[in-house]
Amino acid sequence: MLPGPTPGTPEAPQGARGFAVVDVEATGRSPWRHRVVEIAVVLLDERLRPEAEFATLLDPLGPVGPTHVHRIHQADVEGAPRFREIAPRLLELLAGRVLVGHHVSCDHGFLDREFARIGVALPPVPLLCTMRLARAHLPQARGHGLAACVEAAGLGWYPAHTALGDARVTAELLRHCVGVPSCPPDDWAGPLREAARVPWPRLGRARSRPSGTPVPLVRREAPYGPWLPGVPAPAVLLTERGAMGSTA
């Protein structure tokens, strides 16, 4: 669970909705040639307080890619939703918010291409990169990958290369970086002002499949702490209604 607002955090601009911390696991490195196989979104309000989270495995309509990295097997995505089935919900979650990620241009690139495949153009959403923030405000980090930055910030172990695990710890890293004295308020308040002015498209919700069954979400849950080699994270089948819950 994320802590309360960082002491001394300035007031956010009027009308700001907050931040959407996003992480994707994919079947490869190219947004043009590969597909998203897992996505997670952690929502923070304009004061960096946790609001809710969303996560699911996705059916990439092909091989799941580097299982040795993300530990997702082909059987794990059987019955999982396709991107187009969760796209309306994602638009609702992201609208009006700053998109945050560790090397956020990568996550944004995959989202942009997935939406383009279903004919939806993403607006020019403001981006906030925790890798860039860490370069400036975590000089003690041994590197700028997520694991090195998390270690330097003293945030502890996390289930790396699960979308939800990475998104949760990226949210904590964001809070840590904006709370250090060297981070000027406009590093995060500026993107909030921009996000509040961006018009977002909307799509009708996909509440069921042609068979009439609800659109399922398949969410991997992994405890904080190091994983043992070869042990996959458990997958939990959720309905679309049950997948969005408060982090409080």
Strand pairing report for 98-101 and 127-129: parallel
| Of 26, 56, 58, nearest in space to 41 by CA | 56
What pLDDT, on the 0 to 100 scale, is given for residue 215? 82
Average pLDDT in the chain: 85
Q: Mean pLDDT over residues 115-126, rounded?
A: 96
Q: Is the model more confident about 225 or about 151?
A: 151
Which tokens belong to 173?
Answer: 């890293």
Q: Is the alpha carbon torsion for 118, 220, 163, 243 positive or negative?
A: positive
Do the beta carbons of residue 146 and residue 169 sit within 8 Å?
yes
Q: What does the alpha-carbon distance between residue 247 and residue 53 come to, in Å, rounded to a whole number?
A: 7
| pTM for the predicted model, two decimal places | 0.86
Instruction: State the Cα–Cα distance between residues 7 and 65, nearest whole angstrom.
Output: 42
Range 169-174 average pLDDT: 96
Answer for the pair 165, 179: CB distance below 8 angstroms, yes or no. no
pLDDT at 16 over 80: no
Q: How far apart are CA 134 and CA 141, in angstroms?
A: 8
Q: What is the rounded CA–CA span in Å between residue 155 and residue 73?
A: 29
Q: How far apart are CA 100 and CA 21, in angstroms?
A: 4
Query: Model confidence over 125-150: pLDDT tens digits?
Result: 999 999 999 999 999 999 999 999 99
In 3-state terms, what secondary structure has residue 182?
coil
Name the pLDDT band for 110 (thresholds 50, 70, 90): very high
**Model pLDDT, residue 216:** 85
Q: What local confidence, expressed as pLDDT, does residue 38 receive?
A: 97
Mean pLDDT of 31-50: 96
State how beta strands 36-44 and 127-129 pair.
unpaired
The count of other CB atoms within 10 Å of the CB of residue 53 is 23
Q: What is the mean pLDDT of residues 172-186?
A: 91
With contact defined as beta carbons under 8 Å apart, do 102 and 22 qualify?
no
Q: How confident is the model at residue 248 (pLDDT cuts 50, 70, 90)?
A: very low
How confident is the model at residue 206, as a pLDDT? 66
pLDDT of residue 229: 52
One-letter amino acid of 197 = R
Residue with more model confidence, 221 or 25: 25
Give pLDDT tens digits for 208-234: 677 777 888 999 876 555 445 555 566
> Strand, coil or helix: what is 63?
coil
Position 93 scores a pLDDT of: 95
Tokens at 145, concatenated: 């990958």
pLDDT score, position 231: 58
Within the chain, residue ranges assigned H as helices are: 67-70, 83-94, 104-117, 130-137, 146-153, 163-178, 186-195
